[in-house]
Structure 1
Amino acid sequence: MSVNKITAAEAKVMIDGGEDLVILDVRTQEEYDQGHIENAVLIPDTEISAKAPTVLADQNQTILVYCRTGRRSAEAAKKLVDLGYTHIYDFGGIVDWPYEVVK
Structure 2
Amino acid sequence: MGLLNLFSQNPAASLSDSQLKEMLQSENPPILLDVRSPGEYQVGHIPGSSNVPVQFVADTMNQNNIQLDKTLVLYCQSGARSAQACQILRNLGYTAVYNFGGIRNWSYGFQR
TM (normalized to structure 1)?
0.90
Rate the CA distance shift 1:43–1:10 in 2: closer, same or farther, 3 A.
Answer: same
SS at match of 1:37: coil
Instruction: Determine if the alignment matches structure 1 residue 33 to structure 2 residue 37.
Output: no
1:2 CA drift (Å): 4.5
- After superposition, the CA RMSD in angstroms is 1.6
Residue 49 of structure 1 is aligned with which of 58, 68, 71? 58
The number of aligned residues is 103
Conserved in 1, the CA contact under 8 Å of 2:11 and 2:98? no
The amino acid across from 1:15 in the alignment is L
CA distance in 1, matches of 2:104, 2:87: 21
Conserved in 2, the CA contact under 8 Å of 1:7 and 1:91? yes
CA distance in 2, matches of 1:2, 1:19: 17
List runs of 5+ in structure 2 lacking aligned partners: 1-9
- By relative contact order (CA 8 Å, sep 6+), the higher-ranking structure is 1
SS at match of 1:13: helix
CA distance in 2, matches of 1:56, 1:67: 23
The amino acid across from 1:7 in the alignment is S
1:20 CA drift (Å): 3.3
CA distance in 2, matches of 1:36, 1:18: 22
CA offset digits 1:17-71 (Å, max 9, x no partner) = 2323201110000011111111211110111122221235211111111111111
CA distance in 2, matches of 1:15, 1:57: 18
List runs of 5+ in structure 1 lacking aligned partners: none
Conserved in 2, the CA contact under 8 Å of 1:28 and 1:44? yes
TM (normalized to structure 2)?
0.83
- Which has more radius of gyration? 2
SS at match of 1:59: coil
